[in-house]
Structure 1
Amino acid sequence: MSGDLRPARRPWFARPMARAELLTGIRSTGLDVREVDRPADFASGFTVHVYPHVRILPSHSLRIVFAPGDPAVPRVHARGPDCPAHRNPDGSLCLWYPKDAPSRRWSPCDGGRLLVAIIVRHLRWESAYLATSIWPGFEAPHGHGSPGLDEQDQIIA
């Protein structure tokens, strides 16, 4: 008999406690966050909206989408000053390179606080890029077969 008949594993965000922990982590930074949709089974994903904050995100609001097909990779869309650098084709922030070592990527077990730190760092780098045309952060080599970055840097002080 071929094929796997086990039920598909549910994404992390289908568990109420996991969603609550993410939202609590984001709120612990001082940001106001709300679930945009609350589908009964979360088969279509999980989306949150983060509102601007005068000190942390003065000119951006965020839509963070966790898709069921790739639940550990949030798609972060920022509404605010547009930056041509380090955006994915769908306009979401390019927060890390897919081939980066796990230490350079966010995962759900890292929590909402670290995700916010990564997003804020990226938006600050975008702001600097808009002012200077120089990207102040690290950049991964791009192209087919390019390796990821494996060095660890401090994101939260």
Structure 2
Amino acid sequence: MTVTFAHDRGYSPHVYSDGPSTADDSPHRFPDRGRTRLCIWLPSDPPARRWVPADGLLGLFGMTAEHLFKEGWWREYREWLGDEAPHGPHAKEAN
């Protein structure tokens, strides 16, 4: 797992992890410079639904672990556990 912070993104880190590289294998990943970035939250989500610095690194790692578990479940059962915002190639299917 790799986490990057950039000044132009404020406090919204990008999280990368080995694993699926297509939306068919995970509806919540985006290609990003030869890697796949996890879509754990939307930047427009309220603070309670996304990572904020007050959550600490353990909070970020916990959100990442939960996301990776949901991905595994998705690959096995084609069901995303919990809430999700439609986006990417699957957004049209949700409408």
Same fold by TM-score greater than 0.5: yes
Structure 1 gaps, min length 5: 1-61, 144-157
How many angstroms apart in 1 are the aligned matches of 2:54 and 2:47? 12
Post-superposition CA distance 1:33-56 (Å, at most 9, x none):
xxxxxxxxxxxxxxxxxxxxxxxx
Aligned equivalents of 1:78, 1:128: Cα separation in 2:
16
Higher relative contact order (CA 8 A, sep 6+): 2
Structure 2 distance, partners of 1:125, 1:142, is: 16
Of 57, 61, 70, which aligns to 1:112?
Answer: 57
Matched, 1:74 2:13: yes
The structure with more helix, counted as a fraction of residues: 2
**C-alpha RMSD over aligned residues:** 1.7
- Equivalent residues in 2 for 1:1-157 (5 A)? 62-79=1-18, 81-82=19-20, 83-90=25-32, 91-142=36-87
Amino acid at match of 1:86: H
TM-score normalised to structure 2 length:
0.76
After TM superposition, where is structure 1 displaced by more than 2 Å over at least 4 residues in a row? none
**Runs (5+) with no aligned partner, structure 2:** 89-95
Give the TM-score of the pair, scaled to structure 1: 0.48
Identity %: 38
8 Å CA contact retained: 2:26, 2:74:
no
CA distance in 1, matches of 2:26, 2:14: 17
CA distance in 1, matches of 2:71, 2:26: 9
User: Secondary structure of 2:29's match?
Assistant: coil
SS in structure 1 at match of 2:61:
helix
Q: Between Structure 1 and Structure 2, how many residues are aligned?
A: 81
**Do the aligned partners of 2:5 and 2:14 also contact (CA within 8 Å) in 1?**
yes
Structure 1 residue 141 displacement after superposition: 4.4
Name the CA distance, whole Å, in 2 between partners of 1:96 and 1:118.
Answer: 9
